[in-house]
Amino acid sequence: MILGAYGVLLKNHTRFVMFGLITAFASSFGQTYFIGIFGHAIQQDFAMSHTQWGGIYMLGTLLSALLLPVTGKLIDQVPLQGYTFFVVLFLAFSCWFIAQVNSLVWLVLGVFLLRQTGQGLMSHVAYTSMGRYFERQRGKATAMVAIGFAAGEAILPLIAVMCIAAVGWRWSYTGVAVFILLVVLPATMWLLRGHHARHLDYEKNLTQREIESQHSHDIANQTMVQVKAVKSWRRRDVLKDYRFYLILPAVSATSLVSTALFFHHLNLADEKGWSHTFITGNYLLYSFVATLMAVISGQLIDRFSALKLMPFTLLPIACALLMINLVDSYWVIWPYMVLLGIGSGLAQTTQSALWPECYGVRYLGSIKSLYWTFVVFASALGPVWLGYIVDQGYSFQQAVLTMVVYLVLATAVMMIGLRGFSVSYPQAR
């Protein structure tokens, strides 16, 4: 039944859904799990310590976060085709640029460009486009984006390892730039053909609903299910809403914890006495589970809403960290990856669908860029959080317990913040 519902989505919106999946996949080239594969080679090339490389990475990421509210907001003002064209083009430039750097200052700029265009704007394009133009099937559409992320996590690290071994890290990232120009750019432009008509329908329907909402009238879809119109909040109004700040620690937590874990997985392996190949080889299990959970949660969102699923998003990740703390045997990596995948797949899909449910869709780009700013900040701070605690003399196993406490507290605060929000919309039949 679940696969049948996704089949209907793909049949009716094949190209646009594939656009979301491909932009999510291509964001991998600026994500931590991909850049981290190049970390050892970059450190050797520039004769850097782990602390220096971590500091450069954090600085570049934080600079990216500061710019995201400006660059992300433009998706509300520029046609999606033009916005996507320039984002993909600058992603290709970023990959080429970092392959040319020859000093630490330029390396900071290279990291900043990759994080801005890859992790920041490509992810922003994928999630905002699916969240804005889908309503009854928003959960399933955002689940397809999560599948794009999971595919990148499963496939690209292994390819990167082989390419670096064959031609070095610089030529590998140059090859990525060529791939983006020759494959990703034309593919995204072709997949967006005819999008202008979709946008006109979206504007027409949204305007109609806003007018009817002002007169306190509910809108009925063809199945006669009553729809409660969600007010479209501006970003400045969201910033004045106290509930946003109560939800924020939870929706940033997945990025904070996951980035920290993947950044330090090899340190975990050393502490546990596992081989590096063993722990990275199980990334495929994580990606498979995350994909499966994204598919399931997408259907659940369309049935129950993201608001009802949000309180459960962080608990699997907390359980994964507890297992790592309590068990040293090698077999723990499998339930650990499974729980991490469940939490990641559930969180990515649910969090993306949450914002249009709470704050409407007209200014979704500016709201999501605000959200992504905090997500990128969290991804910069996560590795430093664990690294600092370990540097104070604690083990990695002990350090992750602090994140368990954070996840539990963030969940409790989020549940308070979610009160007062309510949404009902047409369900897929």
> Quick check: 313 and 343 in contact, CB under 8 A?
yes
Number of folded domains that form the chain: 1
Is 108 part of any domain? yes
Q: Is residue 351 part of a domain?
A: yes
Q: Which residue has the tokens 């502490």?
A: 271
Is the pTM higher than 0.95? Answer: no
What integer pLDDT is reported at residue 224 of this predicted model?
A: 39
What Rg do the C-alpha atoms of the chain give, in angstroms? Answer: 21
Report residue 220: phi and psi, to 5°.
-105, 135
Helix, strand, coil distribution of the chain in percent, nearest 5: 85, 0, 15
Distance CA 199, CA 197 (A): 5
- Structure letter (DSSP) for residue 118: I
The predicted structure's pLDDT at residue 212: 59
Q: Which residues contact 115 (CB under 8 A, 6 or more apart)?
A: 30, 60, 61, 64, 376
Position 108 scores a pLDDT of 94
Domain that holds residue 187: 2-418
pLDDT at 423: 56
Look up the CATH number of the domain holding residue 263: 1.20.1250.20
Distance CA 305, CA 353 (A): 8
Q: Residue 403's pLDDT is what? A: 93
**Per the domain annotation, does 404 fall within a domain?**
yes
103 φψ region: left (φ > 0), alpha (ψ -120 to 50), beta (else): beta
In three-state secondary structure terms, 425 is coil
Residue 429 lies in a domain: no
Residues with Cβ within 8 Å of 99's Cβ and at least 6 positions away in sequence, in order, are 169, 170, 171, 172, 173, 174, 177
> Does residue 50 form part of some domain?
yes
Average pLDDT for runs of 10 along the chain of length 429 = 64 83 93 82 83 82 87 86 94 96 93 92 87 73 80 84 89 96 96 80 68 51 46 81 90 87 79 80 85 84 84 93 88 92 87 80 74 80 81 84 94 89 49
Residue 170 domain-assigned (yes or no): yes
Instruction: Say if CB 17 and CB 142 are below 8 A apart.
Output: no
316 lies in some domain: yes
Residue 427 lies in a domain: no
